[in-house]
Structure 1
């Protein structure tokens, strides 16, 4: 009888070892859980900080657009025109002199373009209400579907004209509404801002062109070691060369598009054909959205000009064919795969920068996206992002 008791006692003596192991494991498990919670908390803080930083940067870009837009445009123009300055430098022409001549030619071209399109644009905008009523009559010759709406409008007018008796001793209140014309608003509000932005853009473009490689040498000082300095030099040269080639090529293509569209509209007897050609070339800097706007405008002009619906739609149809040929055949063949962008990335960029900067953002969205692509190609940490915006072959 004693032996079983001994075994049982021995078993009771040996069993506490697993329990001790379990008790020893619990502090380690608790420490691991605390570390996991700490890592999740740190990750949440990083995500929150990144989100707040992005929102702050976006708000700053939006609020500072009056300064950032001319600065961005000046950087793009200097990249576009810098090959001319470097070419003149080979023949020992001072950079400052070449830069001044180039900027003067640019300003003269800009003034001539404004004079070419300002008068037709102002005349077309002033006549737009009458023209829209004319289009309304053509499209809705039979207004049976609008009879109920017209009846409601008549009832509202009668209610507004009704005279209600006022209490004794109460004088009627006369409300006068001052209407400000769009031309007066343009002169008082938009023209000073535009003039200031133009001065910033012109002066900064001159300084960037006249500085030449001095700015590049200053950029290299930002590197902390030889490897970083080499990367900065490579990035600066690549961005300057590739952006110059891209902007120059796209500018030539859009200029040719303006001429082709203007000549086609001239053959179709559209009023002010070369004005619409210039508008088509400018808005073509904003892919997808720009051609869509021009198509709608040409459809409106066709409806105003012609009585036949088929003839009216001929102008936008011809423009769509020309734009598709340019966008799907000519531009990819000339620009090549190196700087080709996915349609999704371009569309999102155009929508985003239009939301931030308006019309200026619409025109600058694609060049800014091109700069981002060149940056992603030359910075190892950003090369993964390049696959999202680069068009696959």
Structure 2
């Protein structure tokens, strides 16, 4: 009897050890899979960025195409008209802003030089007041043995740090300009690819989706899949349309205020802050930095240099703290720290487009988790305040 009990104890101990080993291997395998997915997303970003962006836009426009289909309008015509209505305003706005944007890009080295000269002047004034007057050199008494030694070399003057700072600022501005110009052809090619992909997704995407849901065995609960996609479409459309209207109004208000007080190229800065405001928190900070530089260029190192950034900051606080929470409500709110970390990750993976797509992707993940009824603790973490 004792031998049987000891054997059973040893067997249970061995099974627990085996289970622990399997659990460790599973955790290691899951970690490797996560790293493999991250590496794939980073490596294939030139392919995935147009696909994801086109899928989001097609998801937003597909209800309008379906509505036109009920009115016996072919998908090809309705998709073409929608894309034309979507592309035309941005094209006209781009043509309107191309001249001032090009002028600012060409003047970046000059602006950097002027700012660096102002910084050098302030630094030299501060050094003149803070540095004590140099003491008169005291001649050292020479001993008898010093006559046979080598003459001491005079100390070398300290390196001029102001020149190195100036050169770094100038070089940074030139590098930024060259980077933007060199990436322009690739950006244009990706935009054209996105337009073509959006058109084909609007025309042929719904039929492919229904065939996938109906015939592929990987989809076990077909009704839940349809409900999930429909809810993602409705909630994401509501979020993006609402945010787009809010950002458009913010850009319009910024451009109007800047025009009233006499800021140069007010329409350009209004469009810029409207685009950057699609990135929560970090977009407003970037807009303030850009507008501070604009104020320095137009007004110099005076109190007026803070006027553009200060006015925009006031408008941004009203928008972010009062208007957006009241319009979106609690269900659309996400934890600010989670958003910033997620934007950092997607920006590192996919650059500027990843930053713009960060919040819609995070909202899709939240909606999927809510509908599947899994990982409720992660949903609570995303919505925590």
How far apart, CA to CA, are the structure 1 residues paired with 2:234 and 2:311? 35
Give the TM-score taking structure 2 as reference length: 0.82
1:231-310 equivalences in 2 (<5 Å):
231-307=224-300, 309-310=302-303
Q: How far apart are residue 81 of structure 1 and its match?
A: 2.1
Equivalent residue, structure 1, for 2:159: 152
- Runs of 4 or more, structure 1, over 4 Å off, are 145-148, 180-187, 222-227
Cα pair 2:213 2:222 within 8 Å, conserved? yes
Larger Rg: 1
Give the TM-score taking structure 1 as reference length: 0.80
Out of 115, 137, 141, which is 2:121 matched to? 141
1:1-393 equivalences in 2 (<5 Å):
21=2, 23-144=3-124, 151-153=158-160, 189-211=182-204, 213-221=206-214, 224=217, 228-307=221-300, 309-391=302-384
Cα pair 1:222 1:229 within 8 Å, conserved? no
Equivalenced residue count is 348
Cα pair 1:354 1:361 within 8 Å, conserved? yes
Q: How far apart are residue 140 of structure 1 and its match?
A: 4.8
Q: How far apart are residue 146 of structure 1 and its match?
A: 6.5
Q: Which runs of 5+ in 1 are unaligned?
A: 1-19, 158-179
Q: How far apart are residue 267 of structure 1 and its match?
A: 2.3
Range 315-324 or range 299-308, more displaced: 299-308
How far apart, CA to CA, are the structure 2 residues paired with 1:364 and 1:146? 47
How far apart, CA to CA, are the structure 2 residues paired with 1:222 and 1:116? 49
Q: How far apart are residue 282 of structure 1 and its match?
A: 0.5
Cα pair 2:276 2:287 within 8 Å, conserved? yes
How far apart, CA to CA, are the structure 2 residues paired with 1:181 and 1:387? 43
Equivalent residue, structure 2, for 1:160: none
Q: Secondary structure at the match of 1:152?
A: coil
Cα pair 1:376 1:382 within 8 Å, conserved? yes
CA RMSD, Structure 1 to Structure 2 (Å): 2.8
Measured at CA, do residues 195 and 298 of structure 1 come closer, stay the same or move farther in structure 2, by a change above 3 Å? closer
Measured at CA, do residues 181 and 55 of structure 1 come closer, stay the same or move farther in structure 2, by a change above 3 Å? closer
Measured at CA, do residues 216 and 335 of structure 1 come closer, stay the same or move farther in structure 2, by a change above 3 Å? farther
The C-alpha deviation readout for 1:55-102, integer Å capped at 9, x for no partner, is 111111111111111111111111222333233334322221010111
Equivalent residue, structure 2, for 1:162: none
Cα pair 1:262 1:273 within 8 Å, conserved? yes
How far apart, CA to CA, are the structure 2 residues paired with 1:350 and 1:87? 34
Measured at CA, do residues 365 and 193 of structure 1 come closer, stay the same or move farther in structure 2, by a change above 3 Å? same
Cα pair 1:61 1:356 within 8 Å, conserved? yes
Q: Secondary structure at the match of 1:358?
A: helix
Cα pair 1:85 1:98 within 8 Å, conserved? yes
Measured at CA, do residues 273 and 181 of structure 1 come closer, stay the same or move farther in structure 2, by a change above 3 Å? same
